[in-house]
Amino acid sequence: MTISADHTALGQDAPEQANGNHVTEGAAAEAVRKFGITVEDYMLPARHQIQMVDQDGTLNPHTEQGAQPGHEYALPGDAELLAAYEQLVVGRRVNDQNSALVRQGRMAVYPSSHGQEACQVAAALCLADGDWIFPTYRDSVAVMARGVDPVQTMTLFRGDWHSGYDPTKHKVGIQCTPLTTQLLHAVGVAHAAKLRGEDTVVLAMCGDGATSEGDFHEALNFAAVFHLPVVFFVQNNQYAISVPLAHQSVAPSLAHKAVGYGMAGERVDGNDVVALLAVLGRAVKLAREGSGPLLVEAHTYRMQAHTNADDATRYRQDSEVAQWVARDPLKRMQTYLTDRGLLDDDGAARIAEKAEAVATQLREGLGEDVPVDPQDLFRYVFSTPTPQLKEQSAMLADEISRDEAAK
């Protein structure tokens, strides 16, 4: 069996056709030219998830990394691995600090990515400066790792406003709560960049539950049909609030969904930052070189409840959680880097200090009681307020001034 949606023979250079169907030709050409494998071997994920460093912190022999021809991944460089480890430690500290701030009542809510930090860090580090990322509400650590100020990142969860940073300045979409709707925005950003001849890559994030949404399908299909440089990155953390993946999909894996759109899919150990950097790094490189979109599924686990309002003990067993404790992304990376002589006590202390500095910044920033301006309600609905909004703004101002006068 071969896969060739445009019904041209594999390996044959399809000419630029009048109907513009260069799409599968592109993917087919990609597979054959770059990897010497069939289109189906290119598009289907490797038979096993890609894992480079196992849960004990040992580098797998190349033959046991889950790879097969066309799916081999190079070990990222030492500097990249150290930078990733530093971000892992910072990310973990951010997660735990924010959860504490919620318990103290200084934030309304915080969807923690505790346990998923490897995905967060790799998503941010695999991109170049001009690239875009579209995060979900659980991806605050990735947002910060892209350079957004930690306190600004937390604006949404503190409840001052819906977003605290300028998406166009940082090339970071605002954290999205309606599931998968942001994937289409990623597609649009990539499409605009492509039309202008720019080599921007866009990384679009969602979770396992989100793959059931219609916009997941529409975004992947649009990206494939328009042959856009989008890397779809699914963090499969096993649960959509309380509902396990088996109730969302019976596909062989979420990465297998890629082939239905004519794009390549890969699955990776989502707690192995080494494998994530390798797989996402290659996906970004391929997308930038014109491969069209790719789909990467990371197997990870949401170690804590959905949010502080959730009770995870109602739907999952402690024994299951314990299995994932053993697969912790930080611990294995620490072991691996220490064993390789890349990380010593001084280095670890320096990184811990950096993480503590970010935590302090969060505590201090979120501890401040920032005054809110009630007139902001009206200020940004339109570029120019309508006469009706001006009336309502005046009404509220009058109400407030009368309240003040009565005090």
Partner 1 sequence: MSPTVTTSSEVHGNVSAATARAAAKAAATAESTGPQTITLAKALNTAMADAMHADSSVLVFGEDVGMLGGVFRITDGLTKTFGESRCFDTPLAESGIVGMAVGMAMNGMRPVIEMQFDAFAYPAFEQIVSHVAKMHNRTKGAVKLPIVIRVPYAGGIGGVEHHCDSSESYYAHTAGLKVFTPATVADGYRMLREAIDSDDPVMFMEPKKLYWSKDLVDLEGLRAEHAANTERGTSSGGRATVARPGTDATLIAYGPSVPTALAAAAAAAEEGRSLEVIDVRSIVPFDDETVCASVRKTGRAVVIAEAHGFASVSSEIVARVQERCFHYLAAPIRRVTGFDVPYPAPKLEHYYLPGVDRILDAVDDLQWED
For partner 1, give the closer residue by CB, 224 or 276: 224
Burial of 144 (0-12, 13-18, 19+ CB in 10 A): buried
> In 3-state terms, the chain is what percent helix, strand and coil (to 5)?
50, 10, 40
Q: Using the rule CB under 8 A, is 172 a contact of partner 1? A: no
CB 170 within 8 A of CB 145: no
By CB under 8 A, name the one of 367, 380, 399, 400 that touches partner 1. Answer: 380
74 binding partner 1? (CB under 8 A): no
Examine residue 61 and tell whether it contacts partner 1 (CB under 8 A).
no
Closest distance to partner 1 from the beta carbon of 305 (Å): 25
Residues in contact with partner 1, shown as a per-residue x/- string from 216 to 235 under the rule CB under 8 A: -xxx-xx--x----------
Q: Does 143 bind partner 1 (CB under 8 A)?
A: no
**Contact stretch for partner 1 (CB under 8 A) within 5-13, 158-166, 298-306, 399-407:** 158-166
Rounded to whole angstroms, the Cα distance separating 395 from 407 reads 19
Angle (CA) 251-255-261 rounded to 5° is 90
Contact 43, 262 (CB under 8 A): yes
Name which position in 26, 70, 188, 244 contacts partner 1 (CB under 8 A): 188
- 186 contacts partner 1 (rule: CB under 8 A): yes
By beta-carbon proximity to partner 1, the closer residue of 75 and 396 is 396
Give 353-393 as a DSSP string: HHHHHHHHHHHHHHHS-PPP-TTHHHHTSSSS--HHHHHHH
Q: Could you give the CA distance from residue 376 to residue 398 in angstroms, rounded to a whole number?
A: 15
On whether the CB atoms of residues 6 and 21 are closer than 8 A, the answer is yes
195 binds partner 1 (CB under 8 A): yes
Angle, helices 273-288 vs 117-125, to 10°: value is 30
Shortest CB 61 distance to partner 1, Å: 42
Distance CA 227, CA 332 (A): 37
Q: Is 163 in the site for partner 1 (CB under 8 A)?
A: yes
Q: Shortest distance, CB of residue 386 to partner 1, whole angstroms?
A: 4
Residues 175 and 139 sit within 8 Å (Cβ to Cβ): yes
Q: Which of residues 272-331 bind partner 1 (CB under 8 A)?
A: none
Angle between helices 329-339 and 273-288 (to 10 degrees): 90
Segment contacting partner 1 by CB under 8 A, of 37-45, 80-88, 267-275, 373-381: 373-381
Nearest distance in Å: CB 168, partner 1: 6
The pattern of x and - marking residues 8 through 27 that bind partner 1 according to CB under 8 A reads --------x---x-------
CA distances from 56 to 85, 89, 118, 338 (A): 16, 18, 15, 12
Residue 130 as a binder of partner 1 (CB under 8 A): the answer is no
Binding stretches for partner 1 (CB under 8 A): 16, 20, 132, 161-163, 166-169, 173-174, 178, 181, 183-193, 195-197, 214-215, 217-219, 221-222, 225, 376, 379-384, 386-388
